[in-house]
Amino acid sequence: MNTQIVLERYIENIIQIMTPYGSGTGFILGDLIVTNSHVVAGLKEVVISSKTIKRSIAEVVYDDAYFDLAFITSSFETPQNPLQLSQKTIQNGDTVIAIGHPYGLNYSATEGIVSKASRIYGELEYVQLDAAINPGNSGGPLLSIDGEVVGVNTFIIQDSNNLGFALPYFYVDEALKSYKNFNIKNVLKCPSCKNLIDEIEIKEDYCPRCGIKLEVAKLRRKGYKPTGSTKLLEEILALLDVNVTLARRSQASWRVDYNTARIEINYYDNGIIIADSKLCVIPQENIEKLYDYLLDENQKFSYLHFSINENFIYLSYLIPDSSLTLKEGKIALERLFKYADSYDDILIKKFNATKQKRDKEDE
């Protein structure tokens, strides 16, 4: 099979994973989602989505810093063409396909060859490949041309020319079997003594077998806790009945879909908070009338304003973090949600503006 056929056949297995610290890729194997430990970032919960799974909260039930593997559980239907682990030995020169979400670009597939089937790095073997993998690919499957999982895309060497490394399938198989045999839901693997540990046995973040400090146990116990203006923004969103975990794109970015409107909220390093909704594309005719209308409407607003960037019409709320309050922020965002939902239709019907296009995966 060529790369396009492999992608189309197995795309339902590919999962996008989002945390406050970034995003990565996972893939379905049986009743679990497999990814890298560093993708889930020591969290008990992450947000997932796919072609067939609506953006939802999923639980991390296995975290293995030694293999850099994690397993996630969620309610999903078995894909029509489920992925299977390879049973064949990887050879130098084999054609491989890396699938993932590099830089948030959904469902990207790159083809390459195995440069070295067994490259020792630390105590483990890795598959060295020349297929282009980038941030966001981590945790995604490395497939053979037959569509079998030969590895998990794990890391790259910075500033190298397509020098990537995947954890081989046999380590994944070993971890899956160990987890299933352990038959306990929330499990951590000690990177020192390599024992599987029931999370409830861990006291003060130390391994009960060898006594080493387990950083992942500390991270899972503490969880993600926003601070400062980020915390205040999330409190405002919660007051507006927004599921903050699902809305969160990063530590300083949120997305809210409100009926037909999509609102992006970003907190920038310079202390400015901008919440805006890209409503539609300006029409080719009667542009002056549209401009006059937007200016007139701006005179009626408090908190909000219309603007045009390139050919897109935005409705926005902008405020320095030092001026944000719970009361005023709630009023402003509530109005932004409401008006963005109505003005996109008004501009399209009244001025023949064009509805903006979105990737289907972002719906």
Instruction: Give span(s): CATH 2.40.10.120, the chain.
Output: 3-170
Greatest mean pLDDT among 98-112, 155-169, 192-206 lies in 192-206
* Residue 9: band (very low, low, confident or very high) from pLDDT cuts 50, 70, 90: very high
Round the average pLDDT of the chain to a whole number and report it.
94
The reported pTM is: 0.92
Question: Residue 14: beta bridge partners?
Answer: 27
Residue with tokens 């304003």: 305
> Which residue from 225, 238, 196, 231 is spatially nearest to 330, judged by alpha carbons?
238
pLDDT over threshold 60, residue 16: yes
Please report the pLDDT score of residue 105 as a whole number. 72
Question: Residue 307: beta bridge partners?
Answer: 314
CA–CA dist 232, 211 (Å, integer)? 39
- Reported as a single tens digit per residue, the pLDDT across 222-277 is 999 999 999 999 999 999 999 999 999 999 999 999 999 999 999 999 999 999 99
* Residue 360: band (very low, low, confident or very high) from pLDDT cuts 50, 70, 90: low
pLDDT over threshold 90, residue 362: no
Across the range 189-198, mean pLDDT stands at: 98
Pairing of strands 248-250, 164-168: unpaired
* Residue 137: band (very low, low, confident or very high) from pLDDT cuts 50, 70, 90: confident
pLDDT over threshold 90, residue 346: yes
Quick one: fold of 228-362? Yope Regulator; Chain: A, (3.30.1460)
Instruction: Give span(s): CATH 3.30.1460.10, the chain.
Output: 228-362
* Residue 157: band (very low, low, confident or very high) from pLDDT cuts 50, 70, 90: confident
CA–CA dist 225, 235 (Å, integer)? 12
pLDDT over threshold 70, residue 318: yes
Q: Is 260 helix (H, G, I), strand (E, B) or coil?
A: coil
Please report the pLDDT score of residue 286 as a whole number. 85
pLDDT over threshold 60, residue 148: yes
CA–CA dist 153, 217 (Å, integer)? 24
Please report the pLDDT score of residue 161 as a whole number. 66
- Reported as a single tens digit per residue, the pLDDT across 35-77 is 999 999 999 999 999 999 999 999 999 999 999 999 999 999 9
> Which residue from 68, 71, 76, 132 is spatially nearest to 100, judged by alpha carbons?
132
* Residue 132: band (very low, low, confident or very high) from pLDDT cuts 50, 70, 90: confident
CA–CA dist 321, 323 (Å, integer)? 5
**Dihedral of the CA atoms 348, 266, 231, 324 (nearest 10)?**
-80
Q: Which CATH class is domain 3-170?
A: mainly beta
CA–CA dist 7, 108 (Å, integer)? 8
Across the range 12-27, mean pLDDT stands at: 95
| Distances from the Cα of 317 to the Cα of 92, 236, 250, 267, 341, angstroms | 55, 14, 19, 12, 15
pLDDT over threshold 80, residue 359: no
